[in-house]
Structure formats: structure tokens, C-alpha cells
């Protein structure tokens, strides 16, 4: 049976913490300490290692380990679900759909609201789980839990606002009725960087619409999904409506293929890389399933000469370094106009040195935790080395952090050119490369040169320029004089190879609804 005893033991042992942001290299061969214990205890009921299918906790024939990215310590083991478990979860969701779709919108609303209430009641423990398995600072994890819960609250209200239409046709004795009905079983495949919010944003909409779900969480962060299952069960969500099947990297491909090809699944919702999204789209195409894809980003952050430089720096800090730069909407390419370039770079570097403290997410004062794994560190390192080799200047940072492991220094590069990897590839790390430009048209052209288009940001005090650039940027979301754009009430999604569909907002629930036209004659 999968176990979480190691993670539980961390909450009991509370080692003394070093001063925030201060690290000394460990002697060679010395294992890094895990601070996953944090202050206080954790409710054991939220720490689950089995799959959750049909309202029951079920072990799998095998398990896989989950690690603390800050220390490398094993947190516990989790059920390693494969093809049989995936098919069983789909069947459970399908059987539950037949009754769940008939539940009144009022009752669905009340159940989602109860789930929201339980998340708020357990917000501290849920945040600690996120920090333990993803490494993000505890304060950020607490913010994610509140953000996650708000999706359940929002969609509990949207469940009551699923409206149809009556259409007067050209024939006097006919009326057209438009109904909205749930699509069926939805397969939900989520990433590790927001292990709670990416689930509730999808599942809240699906359940509000009357769909049932099978969630495959990221292998790095399965505990958050399983904790949500425990709370959903406590809230009274019926058996089979919310199912979770964790699996290791070795089985992710086969489980994903089952979810995309099983005829009982009607909808796929995926957040992750563009490359993986293309594979899932290919599988889903054979049975023409409904698909929502929130894929890679390469967000431009443009600073025009008319911008308030202090405001732009504050926005850059918020956009770039949240979750150590491991977000799909974080700024990846900084384009700064010549007249304000030097001032921006100087103040940006000062803000980074003053505000960013690298450390374990449980340490008070930490603002940047580790990257998720060694592969992520290697990618950032590769991009920095490539840029420097091609003429970029390291303004600050530029290397692995002295504490070792999965930590990397917040890095600012200047004299960057368009041919560098940090401009052509999504970084997913704490790297800010700055390109200098002269004209507005040049900046827009660079921004739109990417094959993806999720988010974009720009700073300007020129009203005419604001309208022009906002309309010209080929992205699904634009931040104007604002570095944080995600909101429960607003639609989230991209264009080009950044995906299909929208999440959150009043539009998010439509992704899980079919429109049916009924011709009512003989009137």
C-alpha cells in the first residue's frame, strides 16, 4: 500500500532553520536537510497515497516515490496507476455521470460550495502539502490555495446560471429551443506548478456543468490532488464524480493514451507543454473528443519609453519570479525601448538583489524556492550559457545557487539577441533576458514572432499606443501596466500553439457543455 509516513514525520520533526536567504555550501557528501516539517502539525487525513476511484481509496499493484525538490528527501510513495486502473476510473466516472447529470443545479451548487468551505477550513495544511511537494514558498502556496478555492466558489455560482434560449423562427408555428447539457466524462490532466489551482479551475467547471471527471495529476505533485479528493468526499460529492489516478513518469504515456482514446470519455482538458498537447490531440482526434488545451507560453514583457519605470520593474518582478519563474504566463522575453533601457535594467537588478531570497519554501522570508527537479535546473543553465556564449551580459545571478540541489540564482541578462535560446524557448525558471529595441513596430514584431501566444505584457502611458499594442499582440491575455493577470472571473487561455478553449470566468463552464437545438412545432 502506498504510504505517506515520511511526509507525516516531517511535520513532527522541526529542525532549527538558518536565517532567511542565507546558505552555506554543505560539505561534500552531506545530504541536504528537509524543512518540510514547517511549523505545526498536519492532519493525517489529507495525506493519501492510494488512488481515489468510485468513492473509494484503492491501492495499485505498484507505487512510485514523491520527493521534496528542496532537499531531495523522499516524502512518501503513491499508487502507480496503469491501464487497468485508468479504465476502472473512467468506468466509475461514466456510471456516476448517469445520475450526476440529473442532479439539480441547486444541489450541485451547494456541494461545490461545501467543497470550497472545506478548502478554506484546511487551507494551512493544503498549503504545506504544496510547498512540500512543489517547493514553492509557503506564502505563495497559501495564495494558491485561496485562489484554488475561489474557482469552486465561482463555479458553484455559475452552476445556477446555465441558461438556454428560445428562438422565434420564420415559421409562425415553430419555436427553436436551445439547451445546454453536460458533455459527459471529462479527463483532466494537470501540471505540477500549480497542483491545486489547475485542478479546481477545470474540475469546478466540469462538475458545475454536470460532468464527472478522472484526474491524472502530475507525478511530481500527486498529494495535492489526493487531498482535494479527500475534501470532495467529505463535502458529499457522490462516488465516481471525482476520481484521481496518480501515476509515475513511466506510466504517464499509457495512462494518457487511455484517457484520450477510451470511448466512454467525451472531453479532454490538459495543461502542460505544447509538445505533449499535440500528442494528446492526436489521440483524441480518432474519436473526435471535445478538447481544451492550455499549453506553453513565451510571454513578451514590453517596456516603452513612456512607461513609469518603477511600475514596470514592480510588474516585472511579480510576473517573472513567482514560483521561481515556473509559470506558463510568466514573462519570458523582456523587450525594453532604448530610451528607458538602462534605467529599467539598473532598477530591475536592484529590485532582484533586494527582494529575492532563495531558500526552502518553509523558511520564513524565502521568496524563491527550488526548481522542480534537476532537469529544470539544467535547462536554465543551458540557456544562460548559450546566451553568454553569443554575447549576452550577466547583470546578476547566472549560475546554480550556492546551496546546491535544484536551486538556481535569480538571473538578469542584458545585450540579448533574438537568436538566443532564452528568447526562442520557454525557460520555466528564474531567468530574465532583456532585448533593446527602438520602435514600437519592432517590439510588436519580436513579440509576435513566436509560434505560441498565451500571455503578453506591456507598460506605456500613451493611451493611443495602449490600444494599438493591446490589439496587435497575438496572445490570448494581455496585461497593460500589470504583471499579474490571472483572475477567477476572467477567461484564461491562449492562441496559436498555446492551446484551445478558455478556463475560469463565465466562459469556462461552456467547455463542458453541449448545445442542443430542439425544434418545437405545431404551435
Does residue 272 have a known ligand-binding role? yes
Dump pLDDT digits (tens) for 101-124.
999 999 999 999 999 999 999 999
Which pLDDT value is given to residue 2? 52
Judged on CB neighbours under 10 Å (0-12, 13-18, 19+), 173 is: exposed
Cell for 8?
A: 507525516
Mean pLDDT of 222-237: 98
pTM value surpassing 0.85: yes
Query: Which grid cell sits at 353?
Result: 538583489
What average pLDDT does this structure show over 245-272?
98
Task: Note if 489 is an active site residue.
Answer: no
Contact 18/363 with Cβ under 8 angstroms? yes
The helix (H) or strand (E) run that includes residue 345 is helix 338-355
Annotated binding residue 273: yes
Alpha-carbon span 60 to 350, nearest angstrom: 51
Residue pair 503/190 in contact by the 8 Å Cβ criterion: no
pLDDT over threshold 70, residue 499: yes
- 3-state SS record for 5-26: HHHHHHHHCCCCCCCCCCCCCC
Is 217 a known ligand-binding residue? yes
**HSE-up (13 A, CA, CB side) for residue 512:** 32
Mean pLDDT in residue range 430-455: 98
Mean pLDDT over 288-300 rounds to 97
In the sheet that holds 513-520, the strands lie side by side as 165-168, 175-182, 513-520
Q: Which of 328, 409, 426, 440 is catalytic?
A: 328
pLDDT band with cut points at 50, 70 and 90 for residue 42 = low
Q: Compute, in degrees rounded to 10, the torsion defined by CA atoms 399, 335, 368, 147.
A: -150
Q: Which of 294, 363, 440, 511 is catalytic?
A: 294
Residue 330 known to be catalytic: no
- pLDDT band of residue 366 (cuts 50, 70, 90) is very high
Confirm or reject CATH 3.10.129.10 for domain 299-487, answering yes or no: no
Residue 235 has pLDDT above 80, yes or no: yes
Predicted local distance difference test score (pLDDT) of residue 25: 34
Q: What angle (nearest 5°) sits at the alpha carbon of residue 358, between those of residues 6 and 406?
A: 55
Residue 219 assigned to a binding site: yes
Instruction: Sketch the domain layout of the chain as residue ranges.
Output: 5-12+75-294, 299-487
Stretch 291-316: mean pLDDT? 98
Asked whether residue 225 is marked as a ligand-binding residue, the answer is no
Q: What is the pLDDT of residues 318-357, one digit of tens each?
A: 999 999 999 999 999 999 999 999 999 999 999 999 999 9
Note the Cα 483 to chain centre separation in Å. 17
CA-CA distance, 163 to 473, in Å (whole number)? 33
Asked if residue 201 belongs to a known ligand binding site, the reply is yes
Helix 5-12 vs helix 123-134: angle between axes, to the nearest 10 degrees? 110
SS3 of 384-418: the string is HHHHHHCCCEEEECCCECCCCCCCECCEEEECCCC
CA 184 – CA 186 distance, rounded (Å): 6
Check residue 460 and give its pLDDT: 98
Does 158 carry a binding-site annotation?
no
Q: Is 493 helix (H, G, I), strand (E, B) or coil?
A: coil
Contact 59, 240 (CB under 8 A): no
Examine the pLDDT at 190 and tell me if it is beyond 60: yes
- Looking at residue 44, its pLDDT comes to 77
Quick one: how far is CA 91 from the chain centroid?
27
Angle, alpha carbons 231-273-352 (nearest 5°): 85
Q: What is the pLDDT of residues 403-431, one digit of tens each?
A: 999 999 999 999 999 999 999 999 999 99
Query: Is position 277 annotated in a ligand binding site?
Result: yes
- Reported residue count of the chain is 523
- Beta strands 452-453 and 495-496 are antiparallel
pLDDT tens-digit map of 68-97: 999 999 999 999 999 999 999 999 999 999
Q: Is residue 34 pLDDT above 70, yes or no?
A: no
Give the residue from 345, 274, 304, 325 showing the smallest Cα distance to 447.
304
pLDDT of 37: 46
Mean pLDDT computed over every residue of the chain: 93
The stretch 16-44 carries a mean pLDDT of 42
Mean pLDDT on 371-400: 98
251 is in an annotated binding site: no
According to the model, what pLDDT value does residue 402 have? Answer: 94
pLDDT at residue 172, rounded to an integer: 93
* Residue 405 contacts residue 378 (beta carbons within 8 Å): no
Average pLDDT over residues 152-167: 97
274 annotated among ligand-binding-site residues: yes
Q: Which residue has the higher pLDDT, 25 or 469?
A: 469
What 3 state SS string does 55-104 have? CEEECCCCEEEEECCCCCCEEEEEECCCHHHHHHHHHHHHHHHHHHCCCC
Is the pLDDT assigned to residue 31 strictly greater than 70? no
- pLDDT at residue 262 tops 70: yes
**Contact status, residue 215 vs residue 243, Cβ threshold 8 Å:** yes
What's the rounded Cα separation, in Å, for the pair 407 and 69? Answer: 9
Selected from 3.30.413.10, 3.40.50.300, 1.10.287.130, 3.40.605.10, the CATH number assigned to the domain covering 5-12+75-294 reads 3.40.605.10
Q: Per the annotation, does 218 bind a ligand?
A: yes
Amino acid at each position: 500500500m502506498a504510504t505517506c509516513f515520511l511526509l507525516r514525520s516531517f511535520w513532527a520533526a522541526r529542525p532549527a532553520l538558518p536565517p532567511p536567504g542565507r546558505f552555506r555550501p554543505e560539505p561534500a557528501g552531506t545530504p541536504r536537510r528537509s524543512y518540510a516539517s514547517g511549523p505545526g502539525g498536519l492532519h493525517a487525513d489529507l495525506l493519501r497515497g492510494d488512488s481515489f476511484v468510485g468513492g473509494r481509496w484503492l491501492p495499485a499493484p505498484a507505487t512510485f516515490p514523491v520527493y521534496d525538490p528542496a532537499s531531495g528527501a523522499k516524502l512518501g510513495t503513491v499508487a502507480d496507476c496503469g491501464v487497468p486502473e485508468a479504465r476502472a476510473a473512467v468506468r466509475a466516472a461514466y456510471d456516476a455521470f448517469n445520475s450526476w447529470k440529473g442532479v439539480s443545479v441547486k444541489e450541485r451548487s451547494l456541494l461545490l460550495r461545501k467543497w470550497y468551505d472545506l478548502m478554506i477550513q484546511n487551507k494551512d495544511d493544503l498549503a504545506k502539502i504544496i510547498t512540500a511537494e512543489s517547493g514553492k514558498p509557503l506564502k505563495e502556496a497559501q495564495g494558491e490555495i485561496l485562489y484554488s478555492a475561489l474557482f469552486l466558489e465561482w463555479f458553484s455560482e455559475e452552476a445556477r446560471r446555465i441558461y438556454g434560449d428560445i428562438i422565434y423562427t420564420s415559421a409562425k408555428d415553430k419555436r427553436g429551443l436551445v439547451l445546454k447539457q453536460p458533455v459527459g466524462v471529462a479527463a483532466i490532466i494537470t501540471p505540477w506548478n500549480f497542483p491545486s489551482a489547475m485542478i479546481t479551475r477545470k474540475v469546478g467547471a466540469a462538475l458545475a456543468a454536470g460532468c464527472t471527471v478522472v484526474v491524472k495529476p502530475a507525478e511530481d505533485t500527486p498529494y495535492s490532488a489526493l487531498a482535494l479528493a479527500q475534501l470532495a468526499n467529505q463535502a458529499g460529492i457522490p462516488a465516481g464524480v471525482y476520481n484521481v489516478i496518480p501515476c509515475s513518469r513511466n506510466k504517464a504515456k499509457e495512462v494518457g493514451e487511455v484517457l484520450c482514446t477510451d470511448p466512454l470519455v467525451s472531453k479532454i482538458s490538459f495543461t502542460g507543454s505544447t509538445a505533449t498537447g499535440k500528442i494528446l490531440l492526436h489521440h483524441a482526434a480518432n474519436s473526435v473528443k471535445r478538447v481544451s488545451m492550455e499549453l506553453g507560453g513565451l510571454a513578451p514583457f514590453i517596456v516603452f519609453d513612456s512607461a513609469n519605470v518603477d511600475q514596470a520593474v514592480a510588474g516585472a518582478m511579480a510576473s517573472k519570479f513567482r514560483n521561481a519563474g515556473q509559470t506558463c504566463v510568466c514573462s519570458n522575453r523582456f523587450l525594453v525601448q532604448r530610451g528607458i533601457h538602462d534605467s529599467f535594467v539598473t532598477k530591475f537588478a536592484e529590485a532582484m538583489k533586494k527582494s529575492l531570497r532563495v531558500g526552502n519554501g518553509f523558511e520564513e522570508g524565502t521568496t524563491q524556492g527550488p526548481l522542480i527537479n534537476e532537469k529544470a535546473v539544467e535547462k536554465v543553465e543551458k540557456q544562460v550559457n548559450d546566451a553568454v556564449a553569443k554575447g549576452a551580459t550577466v547583470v546578476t545571478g547566472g549560475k546554480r545557487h550556492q546551496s546546491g540541489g535544484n536551486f538556481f540564482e535569480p538571473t538578469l541578462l542584458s545585450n540579448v539577441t533574438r537568436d538566443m535560446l532564452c528568447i526562442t524557448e520557454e525557460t520555466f525558471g528564474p531567468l530574465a533576458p532583456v532585448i533593446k529595441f527602438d520602435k514600437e513596430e519592432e517590439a510588436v514584431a519580436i513579440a509576435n514572432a513566436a509560434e505560441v501566444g498565451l500571455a503578453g505584457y506591456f507598460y506605456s502611458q500613451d493611451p493611443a499606443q495602449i490600444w494599438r499594442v493591446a490589439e496587435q499582440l497575438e496572445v490570448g491575455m494581455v496585461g497593460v501596466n500589470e504583471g499579474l493577470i490571472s483572475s477567477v472571473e476572467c477567461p484564461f487561455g491562449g492562441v496559436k500553439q498555446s492551446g484551445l478553449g478558455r478556463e475560469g470566468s463565465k466562459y469556462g463552464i461552456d467547455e463542458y457543455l453541449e448545445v442542443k437545438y430542439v425544434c418545437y412545432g405545431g404551435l
